[in-house]
Amino acid sequence: MNIGFVGVGRMGANMARRLKDRQCHITAVYDTNRAAATALAAELGCAASQDLSEVTAESDVIFTVVTDDAAMREIFSGAGDNLLVNAGGKLFINCATISPRV
């Protein structure tokens, strides 16, 4: 199973590290903070995706760990690039800090 992460701040990065330690295959990470994504990708031996749709393409399961409602809306319904591009058959696990309205 290929696993991707969107949002690799403190929580997302540590979740990815733990899954990697448990022999899970992390394929892609994405963050608006490109330096954080690049550093974690180097540590885990995976891709630092430039686009959200790239995370979806490379992963069977995508963890979303973003900070607020606006970020959640953007990653799923942003104009052009978003996680739902070619998302048929993918599993999304939301670990974001969002309001119940979203």
Is the predicted pLDDT of residue 16 greater than 80, yes or no? yes
Q: What's the predicted TM-score (pTM) here?
A: 0.94
Paired tokens of 5 = 């992460």
**Cα–Cα–Cα angle for 26, 85, 52, rounded to 5 degrees:** 45
Rounded Cα distance between 102 and 93, Å, is 14
The helix/strand/coil state of 4 is strand
* Per-residue confidence band for 33, with pLDDT thresholds at 50, 70 and 90: very high
pLDDT value for 25: 98
Could you give all domains of the chain from N- to C-terminal order, each with its CATH number? 2-94 (3.40.50.720)
pLDDT value for 99: 87
Contact of 67 with 8, CB cutoff 8 Å: no
Contact of 25 with 50, CB cutoff 8 Å: no
pLDDT value for 78: 79
Rounded Cα distance between 5 and 27, Å, is 9
